A and B are shown apart, each in its own frame.
Chain A
Amino acid sequence: MSVDETTTARSTSLADVAHEPGAAKPDPILVADHVVRRFGGMTAVDVDHLEVQEGVITALIGPNGAGKTTFFNLLTGFDTPNTGEWTFQGRSLSGKSGAAVAKAGVVRTFQLTKALGRLTVLQNMLLASRDNPGENLWLSWLPFLWKKHEADSTEKAMEILARFKLDTKANDYAGSLSGGQRKLLEMARALMTDPTMIMLDEPMAGVNPALVQSLLGHVQALRDEGMTVLFVEHDMHAVRHISDWVVVMAEGRIVAEGPPSSVMKDEAVVDAYLGAHHDTDLGDDSLLDPAVLARYEAEEEER
């Protein structure tokens, strides 16, 4: 099957899905219900129902402070909700630790990058490899038990690093990488775990446009191999370019869902971003023009 055909297959799998918040999907891999997280008096996340379709790329967008990162933290066990439960592949993941969630196959990256500075780039990658017998204390002092696993992981790590243009940096300390390179390393490291589902928090922030193109292609290739991708991104062009489905959050709630072409024209979405009823499309280049934005802001003031 060619890539084009698979893409069509994916699109048709979502073709009958309603364009509304909390819409039911044909094969949901992740289902969240009534997830609420409050910080003091402020409700950061209040997601009533969300289903993420298996094997497609879902983008989670929304203005700053919408609660996207907090929602990620909750789903991946890095924060505890006030209420709510969610399942992955039918098994409950609520209340599980971050490590348990990762073991279940959901691996995430962080918006504020977490490169392990005083490990080399290659060590960062090897650390991510699963089921390494040498990570067991009792076996750790017997190298012949884990040398083979290390060699295999190194080969795989170098392949992934090459894809992320980091192979020449393999033996440098991760702390010496630039901001964008750290983002890349974190994504590469997450892929090293062979996740069933990968959750990326602004993976393209600070990455140069040429590399973004190639990485987007890579993410699509991963999807075509069967990986489920959920990513947060502010770059609307990236969202439009690769996502099969878009979920929009604003003030903690999911306000819209739909395919990228239509969701950006959705009134609720434009509202969430621009704060008023404008007849525009978020993917529209005119939004890059400061004059247009200023006009919208002025109109908003008048209201």
Chain B
Amino acid sequence: MEEFLRILTQSAGEILAPTTAAFAIAAIGLNLHFGYTGLLNMGQAGFMLLGAYGFGITLTLGGPIWLAFLIAIAAGVVFALLLGMPTLQLRGDYLAIVTISAAEIVRWFGRSTLWQEWTGGASGLQGRYYKDPFHALSFLPEGRFALGPFEYINTGSDSWFTRIFAWGLVALVLIFVWLITRSPWGRVLKGIREDEDAVRALGKSVYSYKLQALVLGGAIGALAGVVYAIPLAISPDSMGGRTMTFFVWTVLLLGGAATVFGPVLGSMIFFTAYMFMRTGMRALSEDTAVGNVISTTQVEYIGGMLVGITLMCLVIFRPQGILGNKKELAFNVR
């Protein structure tokens, strides 16, 4: 029983974890791409990794923190322009192919020895090089603080300050995206999602709108990478991989594409469930006869598989997600 409570607490802790916030932001960016504009970005992890590198490297080289954020955003913008300009004239599927391969290219460049001096190569960029300037921003006093069962240090990697910052950023990005998408500008994006030729026939420059959406969502993805990297380290394999991209997709589709709060709710539910599943299975495998069938090392793999299955089931059975409007999809699923 005590064990079960521990697992529950640990899972509930994920609701406000910095990683959950990072994925919420990444999914908000992807929502702008896919949910509103219908762009198939299969490389959101590439945007995240680039943003993290931009942030980490600037600070490692001694740049000020505002510049680090600016460079992270600029990295996302440039990446989006590079990918979007040649492909957005073409049919939608091409963007998917290009983004998935470009994200891989970023990861391989990151782990190569080419720019090892800055990126740290395959082992990545350790947090100690860039965390101090971030922690210096903290306005919290020294010490620890406990909120019910959740106790963290005030300032540090896995701290209250990181949480406040991460969720503050979620709120900012959310308000920004809500403001721009409820406007006539957002209506044009939705029109493009439905049928870009129809929108073109009404005299709107579809290419320009698609590029704007790709750039904004990409810049938001880069910011998500920063939030993800702050409490951890920047490692190309864990952050820039396809798994990361598919987690972001799962988060978005779980919460509901083209909804305002979908990405946030999706991220919270996803990580709570993911943590519950893994810690639960690990406990079972350690303490009960289940251990004879599933060893603790297999838990991670099974967890990954279950995420894949969840994504498939979502797309098949509830493509509108939790917050999605059933009526809106009723006539468009098939």
Binding site for B on A (CB under 8 A): 76, 78, 97-99, 102-103, 107-110, 114-119, 123, 126-128, 130, 132, 134-137, 140-141, 143, 146, 150, 173, 175-176, 186, 189-190, 193
Within 8 Å by CB of A107, from B195, B199, B202, B327, lies B202
A103 nearest CB neighbor, chain B only: B203
Residues of B within 8 A of A128 (CB): 202
Contact flags (1/0) for B172-208 with A, using CB distance below 8 Å?
0000100110011111101101110111111111100
Residues of B within 8 A of A107 (CB): 201-203
From residue A104, how far is it (CB to closest CB) to chain B in Å?
Answer: 9
- Residue B331 interfacial (CB < 8 Å): yes
Within 8 Å by CB of A127, from B180, B188, B328, lies B188
Within 8 Å by CB of B206, from A99, A103, A146, lies A99
Residue among B180, B202, B216, B331 facing the most chain A CB atoms (10 A cut-off) = B202
Which residues of B312-334 have CB atoms within 8 Å of chain A's CB atoms?
A: 327-332
Residues of A within 8 A of B116 (CB): none
A150 nearest CB neighbor, chain B only: B184
Residues of A within 8 A of B187 (CB): 119, 123, 126-127, 135
Given contacts A119-B187, A132-B184, A134-B184, contact A102 B198 (CB under 8 A): no
Q: Are A102 and B200 in contact (CB under 8 A)?
A: yes
B331 nearest CB neighbor, chain A only: A175
Q: Are B332 and A141 in contact (CB under 8 A)?
A: no
Given contacts A137-B185, A140-B179, A146-B183, contact A114 B203 (CB under 8 A): no
From residue B215, how far is it (CB to closest CB) to chain A in Å?
Answer: 10
A105 nearest CB neighbor, chain B only: B203
From residue A190, how far is it (CB to closest CB) to chain B in Å?
Answer: 8
CA distance A175 to B328 in the complex (A): 8
Residue among A97, A115, A140, A150 facing the most chain B CB atoms (10 A cut-off) = A140
Residues of A within 8 A of B176 (CB): 141
Q: Are B200 and A140 in contact (CB under 8 A)?
A: no
Q: Are B200 and A135 in contact (CB under 8 A)?
A: no
Q: List 16 A-B contacts (CB under 8 A).
A: A99-B203, A114-B197, A115-B198, A119-B190, A126-B187, A127-B187, A127-B199, A132-B184, A135-B185, A135-B187, A137-B185, A137-B212, A141-B180, A175-B331, A175-B332, A189-B202
Residues of A within 8 A of B183 (CB): 134-135, 140-141, 143, 146
Within 8 Å by CB of B180, from A109, A117, A137, lies A137
The 7 nearest A-B residue pairs measured at CB: A102-B203, A134-B184, A140-B185, A114-B198, A140-B183, A141-B179, A116-B194
Q: Are B195 and A114 in contact (CB under 8 A)?
A: yes
Residues of B within 8 A of A115 (CB): 198
Residues of B within 8 A of A102 (CB): 200-203
Q: Are B202 and A127 in contact (CB under 8 A)?
A: yes
A128 nearest CB neighbor, chain B only: B202
B190 nearest CB neighbor, chain A only: A119
CA distance A98 to B201 in the complex (A): 6
Interface of B, secondary structure class, is helix
Q: Are A176 and B202 in contact (CB under 8 A)?
A: no
Q: Are A119 and B202 in contact (CB under 8 A)?
A: no
Q: Are B332 and A146 in contact (CB under 8 A)?
A: no
CA distance A141 to B329 in the complex (A): 27
A136 nearest CB neighbor, chain B only: B185
Q: Are A98 and B331 in contact (CB under 8 A)?
A: no
A145 nearest CB neighbor, chain B only: B183
Q: Are A98 and B327 in contact (CB under 8 A)?
A: no
Residues of A within 8 A of B190 (CB): 116, 118-119, 123
Residues of A within 8 A of B191 (CB): 116, 119, 127
Which residues of B146-183 have CB atoms within 8 Å of chain A's CB atoms?
A: 176, 179-180, 183
From residue A225, how far is it (CB to closest CB) to chain B in Å?
Answer: 20
Residues of B within 8 A of A137 (CB): 180, 185, 212, 216
CA distance A97 to B328 in the complex (A): 31
Given contacts A141-B176, A175-B332, A176-B331, contact A134 B202 (CB under 8 A): no
Within 8 Å by CB of B204, from A135, A140, A176, lies A135
A123 nearest CB neighbor, chain B only: B187
Q: Are B197 and A78 in contact (CB under 8 A)?
A: yes
CA distance A117 to B191 in the complex (A): 9
B327 nearest CB neighbor, chain A only: A173
Within 8 Å by CB of B184, from A146, A175, A190, lies A146
CA distance A166 to B112 in the complex (A): 61
Residues of B within 8 A of A176 (CB): 330-331
CA distance A136 to B212 in the complex (A): 10
Q: Are B327 and A130 in contact (CB under 8 A)?
A: no
Residues of B within 8 A of A108 (CB): 201
B176 nearest CB neighbor, chain A only: A141
CA distance A109 to B195 in the complex (A): 13
Residues of A within 8 A of B201 (CB): 76, 78, 98, 102, 107-110, 114, 190
CA distance A137 to B332 in the complex (A): 28
From residue B92, how far is it (CB to closest CB) to chain A in Å?
Answer: 16
From residue B209, how far is it (CB to closest CB) to chain A in Å?
Answer: 9
Q: Are A118 and B328 in contact (CB under 8 A)?
A: yes
Q: Are A135 and B188 in contact (CB under 8 A)?
A: yes
Residues of B within 8 A of A116 (CB): 190-191, 194-195, 198-199
From residue A126, how far is it (CB to closest CB) to chain B in Å?
Answer: 7
Q: Are B200 and A97 in contact (CB under 8 A)?
A: yes
Q: A78-B197, A114-B195 given; name 4 further pairs at CB < 8 Å.
A: A118-B190, A127-B188, A135-B204, A146-B183
From residue B41, how far is it (CB to closest CB) to chain A in Å?
Answer: 18
Residues of B within 8 A of A134 (CB): 183-185
